Copies of this chain bind each other. A is one copy, B any other.
Amino acid sequence: MDLNVTSANADLALDADLRLELWQKLSTEIERYLRLLPGDPVSQPLDAAGTAALRAQIGTIDLDHPIAPAEALQFAVTGLWEHQVHTPHPRYFGLFNPAPTTMGVAADALVAAFNPQIAAWSHSPFAAEIEAYVLRAVAAKFGYPAASSDGVFTSGGAEANHTALLCALSHAFPEFSRGGARALPRPPAIYVSNHSHHSIVKAARLCGLGTGAVHVLDVDDAMHLQPATVAAAIARDRAAGFQPLLLVATLGTTGTGAVDAIGPLADLAAREKIWLHADAAWGGLAALVPELRPVIAGVERADSITFDAHKSLSVPMGAGMFLTRHADILERAFRVDENYMPRDASGLATAGIDPFAHSMQWSRRFIGLKLFLSLAVAGWEGYAAVLRHQLAMAALLRQAAPGAGFRIVNDTPLPLVCLAPDRPDGDTPAVIDPIVRAAVASGQVWVSAAALPARDGKPRAAIRCCITNYRTQAGDIAALLECLTQFSVISDQ
């Protein structure tokens, strides 16, 4: 029997010299990425040859023939550098993926090294209590009373929205837990706008209601969900035998940043006794900037809120948050008793909650540390300054766009600007798509096409530019407009 652990240590822990070399290389490469990235393309063109080369490159790593740690690390650095859209790039005007905070990167490394098991409170009191502390602090920013609110970190906004639906079900139908959807007296109905995030549709499918339970409502011309539209749908559905269950207000749509007026929707939800969920995954940033807070006035009346730290607060992926003002609902929705879970804290009256009993997940990463450390160092005021800077960049873009031949086609107080060439057919996909494709292919900027509500049955589109990065500066805005102008002219010819 070979009881020598040396070789195992050498393979998995590595010896001290190799580790030292690895940490040094790691920080060197991260610093190099921070320093050189702004001068590099935001992304590389994708083509079949490039994909084949990437696969061949990965195939050179034969898992039967180990390579040195530094070589492996270099392989990953090169691969990430050459084959991804660089969300940390200051000219990434993209999908709510910010440049990560340095404290967030350090936190993820620390969590990986200490590897806390965050299922039972007793296994990781520090992790569980830090998460509870941060969740309460964020909930308070949204106006939830600290004493009676609850929340949980999620892998992302999709899990948070999914959690909202499960909480709404557990709240309205205690029999859902045991009997499932088949035990419900009437088919539940979920109300979302046609500009809401599709994770709600996915959640409806995954929780056994089916996508047919999602009643998709049109927005008005300004892309807001109107209470009258919802009220009419509810009346119609009640008459048809449905049970209205959940209304989703989108505070910052992905496409155009439109913010539903949540106050009137809260009035309606209260009257109809349905769960109101605020999907503020990104737009919740308004809660942290006092002068922007009125935009989401009434959010504290929502039964639950989705807010993503990896979108609005620049921590590394994934750090979603689900917040609720119903302090008991997560426990009711998620607790499953299990005799092998550590019980040593069960006799401890002051013990905190077991994370696995508030979450879809069981054992999971300590997600909250990256937000806690980032907040501890920047403070709320530091974050407000960052968000104000992003708002200023968006204002600059709105201001300068007309001079470059573009008009603004969305209406949002958030830092997301949708542009179209200022000409009659400027907002048609035929004009927009080639500009977006060319701009992305150039590597100068990363933008996407947003769908606008159709007019006269015709699809409309815009160039979507989101300021999501704390490193984006005025020069980047100028470069964005220059690039779009260049390809707009080309597409015009």
Contact = CB atoms under 8 A, between A and B. Distances in A.
Interface stretch (A142-150, A291-299, A331-339): A331-339
Contacts of A106: 22-23, 26, 69, 73, 109
B378 A66 contact: yes
A55 B178 contact: no
Contacts of A85: 117, 122-124, 342
Nearest to A51: B350
Contact of A162 (B182, B316, B360): B360
Copies of this chain in its oligomeric complex: 2
A199 B362 contact: yes
B389 A8 contact: yes
A117 B87 contact: yes
Interface in A2-35: 2-5, 7-9, 11-14, 16, 18-20, 22-24, 26-27, 29-31, 33-34
Interface string A209-238: 111110000000000000000000000000
A157 B363 contact: yes
Interface string A437-462: 10010000000101100000000000
A51 B112 contact: no
Interface string A138-167: 000000000000000001111100100010
A326 interface: no
Nearest to A320: B363
A349 interface: yes
B177 A365 contact: no
A261 to B, nearest CB: 22
Contact of A80 (B65, B126, B204, B378): B126
A335 to B, nearest CB: 9
Contacts of A364: 155-156, 317-318
A66 B377 CA distance: 5
A173 B108 CA distance: 40
Interface in A358-384: 360-366, 369-370, 372-383
A405 interface: no
A243 to B, nearest CB: 12
Interface in A96-110: 97-110
Contact of A178 (B202, B212, B314): B212
A182 B202 contact: no
Contacts of A181: 180-182, 208-210
Nearest to A141: B63
Contacts of A58: 129-130, 133
Interface in A175-205: 176-184, 187, 198-199, 201-202, 204-205
B348 A48 contact: yes
Contact of A54 (B129, B334, B375): B129
B51 A31 contact: no
A76 interface: yes
B69 A88 contact: no
A19 to B, nearest CB: 6
Contacts of A68: 377
A473 B437 CA distance: 58
Contacts of A13: 34, 99, 101-102, 470-471
Given A112-B109, A360-B159, A379-B63, A125 B317 contact: no
Contacts of A363: 95, 97, 156-158, 310, 317-318
Interface stretch (A244-252, A267-275, A391-399, A479-487): A391-399
Contacts of A336: 198-199, 201-202, 205, 211
A116 interface: yes
Given A12-B382, A59-B133, A183-B210, 15 more contacts: A1-B395, A22-B103, A46-B345, A51-B125, A69-B106, A72-B376, A80-B114, A83-B124, A84-B123, A155-B155, A156-B362, A176-B208, A178-B212, A207-B208, A318-B365
Q: What are the 5 closest A-B residue pairs judged by CB atoms, nearest first?
A: A208-B208, A180-B210, A11-B382, A23-B27, A83-B126
10 contacts: A19-B31, A29-B110, A76-B373, A80-B114, A85-B117, A95-B340, A105-B113, A116-B317, A158-B363, A178-B210
